[in-house]
Amino acid sequence: MSPSAPSPISVPPPRSRSRSRHPGRPLRRAALAAVLAATVPLAGPGTAALAAPPLTVPTPAAGPAVAAPPKQPVATGYGGAVATVDPYASRTAIEVLRRGGNAVDAAVAAAATLGVTEPYVAALGGGGYLTYYDARTRRVYALDGRETAPRAMNERSFVDPATGRALPFDEAVTSGLSVGVPGTLAQWDMALRRFGTRDLGTLLRPAIEVAEKGFVVDQEFHDQTAANAARFRDIVPTRELFLPGGKPPAVGTVFRNPDLARTYRELARRGPRWLYGGGLGKEVVRTVRKPPVDPAATRNVRPGLMSERDLKAYRSVWRKPTRVSYRGLDVYGMPPSSSGGSTVGEALNILGEFDLDAKDPVKALHYYLEASKLAYADRGRYVGDPDAVDVPLEQLLSRGFARERACLIKPDEAAAAPVAPGSPDGDYAPCAPSGGVGRALGHEGPQTTHLVVADKWGNIASYTITIEQFGGSGLTVPGRGFLLNNELTDFTLQPPAEGAAPDPNLPGPGKRPRSSMSPTIVLKDGRPLLAVGTPGGSTIITTVLQILLNRIDLGMDLPAALAAPRATQRNTPQVFAEQAFIDRYGTALAARGHRLELFPGPPAGTIGAAAGLEVLRPGLVQAVAEPVRRGGGSAMVVRPSR
């Protein structure tokens, strides 16, 4: 904990602003076009008049690759801020902000660049969730870009008919069966149409440059490739792209992806319909239904169920964000199909029933672990795709339900896990016993990425993107340079036994699998204060929750709150934690009955890779990335403060 950190949290007064300066509305586009009139237009037909110049990036003397700027975990300044896991993506966002783009513009451009430099976690072949604070309306919006199941899928699609049991997880992942209809591109298009000031083609320019010229391979990229090398070798286009010379690219070498550069160029010209009903969609479907496996490979790569009709039917969806009040702050999150907002929100409501003191972090962490345990029990029982199942979201986030659940927490004794879910039925009594039995934690890949962006107008984007596992399904679309997701393995693969409680997360036609992604925005008196998110599969929820606990209750500043050692309790018998957490708190928490074990990963011993920002005072924003985890992240601002 930072000894000089503020406690309680201090909040700047409401800032004055002029609506006439807010970007992203048609009346402002003419002015922006005038500013950009002298810039170099995009190559090729079909681009809009607002084309910005390509980013000017240095070229290292050793070769033509685009040089990465140095990483820094914290940056404080004015004019806009960004934090991502990757310096190329952060620089892309900052350049967009410098040239007059807003937070949505910068978030999309950074995400496209991550598709080049972080291809195993972010790509056109995946999906994600965006929360966005619009300074003009002073409202938070939530955009669901989660992948959907093909219409031919049913609750037994992952069950082996020969055994009656779910397919082994590794076989389900590396298959066409695991590939959901990609949502990223539709999400970009919808976000830009509503809030953006630049066209997609303009925002793809920086990513095209990095894909063509290449980037310098770091240890993280090498390690992720090496972890996937065995299955990548069996998929011909994946091997050709990611295993040049038959092995993972060495650290310090240059990696280029000309196929993805061409795909982005064509996308800039043709637009999203090229995927959702056009030629690119046909190529995706062909890859899913007939995986391009090496004939010599012995791996059983099952075909998928996706059709062109599924792509044509896909829609990204605006949803009402979740909202809870915590210690005088309004915490907004992602609603179902993600379980992030509901589970973070329920846990905060439970924690709000207790007085937590920065002078007693062990007590606060005990309550954090117990609140997480209860909220995860309710997540597993009740949360799924709201378009397919009835999610009692209002009751899950009600104070009455939180009080009923909080009453079960003992101050000095951890409950044996898994605990049973509660009954969010609107009829609440003190210390009502739980009903049913606890559900085992389903598998959810920890490989995702998160970014946050703030612009000079006060707009904020908190955006989590994924293809699920490192390397997704392992299937690269031939000649297109991107991997397809394995998001459908986020469904519960085995239907419950007869007579058991229903599972809201079973596969189904057109259904979105439940996610834990938790892009979160915190307001005070209607003004932005914090934005945070992280990768990590089902640990995303606890990481976001712990960062909020650290910042709001334990008095840490945001860099300390984000860097602090982590533990995750997801209604499992063990509390999985990082070694530094075990070293610092293990003995004291064990005395309360918590069983701490090292988080198995991957990567082992590391939970999440968060990114966040805080508005310190009007106009002054601090962007924060990981200092160490997964090689550290990259925080940047437009104009650094002195």
Question: Which residues are known to be catalytic?
Answer: 448
Torsion of Cα atoms, 23 then 26 then 30 then 32, to 10°: 20
146 is in an annotated binding site: yes
515 is in an annotated binding site: yes
Identity at 433, one-letter amino acid code = P
516 is in an annotated binding site: yes
Using the CB atoms, write b or e for 576-601: b if 16+ within 10 Å: bbbeebbebbbeebeebebebeebee
Residue for token pair 């209604």: 571
Find the radius of gyration of the CA atoms of the chain: 23
Q: Tokens in use for 459?
A: 């707009």
Rounded CA-CA distance 339/346 in Å is 10
| Rounded (10°) angle between helices 361-382 and 340-351 | 140
18 is in an annotated binding site: no
Q: What residues contact 195, with CB distance under 8 A and at least 6 apart?
A: 24, 102, 104, 132, 134, 141, 459
163: enclosing H helix or E strand? none
Q: How far is CA 94 from CA 25, 49, 257, in A?
A: 21, 21, 23
144 is in an annotated binding site: no
Using the CB atoms, write b or e for 475-489: b if 16+ within 10 Å: bbbbebbbbbbbbbb
Q: Tokens in use for 138?
A: 């002073």
User: Which of these, 387, 384, 369, 391, lies nearest to 572 by C-alpha position?
Assistant: 369
Residue for token pair 């075990």: 582
- Binding positions for L-glutamate: 146, 490, 515-516, 537
